[in-house]
């Protein structure tokens, strides 16, 4: 979608950030003050953390050479203590250029930094605060050590709301000459779960097949099962129809090409949309959690998923619940 994404990091301004109105207002006030603290941006993927960091630096430094005082590092690629002692430290202690008051280092996926690297980073942030500001971005703030969190102003990014995603999808429709049906938009909401980047990527794949985008080509592009198929999997098991449930699972694994963890994740989501007694729902949820743990530990996904269906059938038979 070249009309919308002209390059990997297209320079944006804070006003272009979608959905995070309160955070943008706070950042705008900080830009107007001319000085910023260290920041910790935390939240789920695709909610605008990297975009806000880039927009903040662009508006702070202005001009075409704003990157001379801005360095971006991905901590998932460079996560050891040596990176903190060399790249980060060397950039932080150098004087700002073009008359700027300070430089900005943006550490994306900072929760991937090792504990030793975070300990070294803590001291670097403190020592070079006169010449450099740090913006850390992470999905899980609990993985950032408390001394770093206490040095930062924490901003929590929430998943985007339906109206925010719709606004951006309309911009893409107008810029790319594609049409997203209402069923297609609802599918985008279901698949993305507030992750705008994921929604745009899936939309781009679907647009390569057709200019009219509906739920069918979106599900084909997203490698996700339809919610009704997952719901049917649970219902067949609860009704004691294990052969049919096993056949449905086989279709999802082979024809749909889904991974076992993806199916478990959708089973968890759809479990709360199926009417049943709370006691039964709790027991099924516990079984899903057990299967997820075993998959993470390396167990065979097909065996574990079939065992899960068997446990759900036993629970349905044992409770005799009309769900």
Structure confidence by residue, pLDDT tens digits, 41-65: 998 888 888 888 888 888 887 767 7
List every span in the chain annotated with CATH 1.10.8.60.
162-222
Dihedral angle sign, alpha carbons of residues 50, 51, 53, 58: positive
> Does domain 227-319 match CATH 3.40.50.2300?
no
Q: Which residues of the chain have pLDDT under 70?
A: 1-11, 63, 75-80, 82, 319-323
Identify the CA nearest to 55 among candidates 102, 106, 95, 98.
106
Identify the CA nearest to 30 among candidates 38, 42, 18, 19.
38
What angle do helix axes 301-319 and 227-238 make, rounded to 10 degrees?
60
DSSP code of residue 45: T
Element spanning 292, H or E? helix 278-296
CB-CB neighbours of 25 under 10 Å = 11
Instruction: State if pTM tops 0.85.
Output: no
* pLDDT at 75 (0 to 100): 66
Identify the CA nearest to 236 among candidates 216, 252, 258.
252
DSSP code of residue 44: S
**28: which 2 tokens?**
């705008």
* pLDDT at 113 (0 to 100): 83
* pLDDT at 322 (0 to 100): 45
Element spanning 156, H or E? strand 152-157
CB-CB neighbours of 43 under 10 Å = 21
Pick the CATH number of 14-157 from 3.90.79.10, 3.40.50.1820, 2.60.40.10, 3.40.50.300: 3.40.50.300
List every span in the chain annotated with CATH 3.40.50.300.
14-157
The string of DSSP letters for 208-259 reads: TT-SEE-HHHHHHHHT---HHHHHHHHHHHHTT-HHHHHHHHHIIIIIS---
**319: which 2 tokens?**
């409770």
List every span in the chain annotated with CATH 1.20.272.10.
227-319
Q: Would you identify the CATH topology of the domain 162-222? A: Helicase, Ruva Protein; domain 3 (1.10.8)
* pLDDT at 5 (0 to 100): 38
**21: which 2 tokens?**
């109105």
In this predicted model, what pLDDT tens digit does every residue of 244-262 receive, in sequence order? 999 999 988 888 788 888 8
| Residue in the block written with tokens 């999808």 | 169
| Separation of alpha carbons 8 and 14, rounded Å | 17
CA 169 to the chain's CA centroid: 18
Q: What are phi and psi of 42, to 5 degrees?
A: -135, 145
CB-CB neighbours of 40 under 10 Å = 24
Considering only the C-alpha atoms of the chain, give the largest distance between any 2 of them, rounded to a whole number of Å. 75
């Amino acid at each position: 979608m070249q009309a919308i994404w002209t390059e990997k990091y297209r320079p944006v301004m804070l006003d272009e950030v979608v959905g995070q109105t309160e955070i943008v207002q706070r950042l705008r006030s900080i830009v107007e003050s001319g000085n910023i603290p260290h920041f910790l941006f935390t939240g789920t993927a695709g909610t605008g953390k990297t975009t806000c960091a880039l927009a903040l630096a662009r508006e702070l430094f202005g001009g075409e050479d704003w990157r001379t005082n801005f360095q971006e590092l991905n901590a998932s690629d460079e996560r050891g203590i040596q990176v903190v002692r060399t790249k980060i430290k060397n950039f932080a202690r150098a004087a700002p250029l073009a008359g700027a008051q300070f430089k900005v280092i943006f550490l994306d996926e900072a929760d991937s930094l090792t504990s030793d690297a975070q300990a070294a980073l803590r001291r670097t942030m403190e020592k070079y605060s006169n010449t450099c500001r740090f913006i850390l971005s992470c999905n899980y703030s609990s993985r950032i050590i408390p001394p770093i969190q206490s040095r930062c102003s924490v901003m929590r990014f929430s998943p985007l709301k339906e109206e925010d995603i719709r606004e951006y999808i309309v911009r893409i429709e107008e810029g790319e000459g594609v049409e997203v049906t209402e069923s297609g938009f609802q599918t985008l909401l279901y698949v993305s779960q507030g992750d705008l980047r994921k929604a745009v990527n899936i939309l781009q794949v679907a647009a390569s097949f057709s200019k009219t985008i509906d739920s069918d080509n979106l599900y084909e592009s997203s490698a996700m099962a339809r919610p009704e198929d997952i719901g049917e999997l649970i219902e067949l098991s609860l009704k004691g129809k294990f052969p049919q449930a096993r056949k449905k699972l086989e279709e999802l694994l082979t024809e749909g090409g889904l991974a076992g963890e993806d199916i478990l994740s959708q089973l968890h989501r759809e479990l709360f949309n199926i009417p049943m007694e709370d006691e039964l729902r709790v027991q099924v949820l516990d079984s899903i959690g057990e299967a997820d743990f075993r998959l993470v530990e390396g167990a065979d996904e097909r065996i574990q998923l079939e065992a899960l269906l068997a446990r759900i059938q036993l629970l349905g038979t044992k409770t005799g619940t009309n769900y």
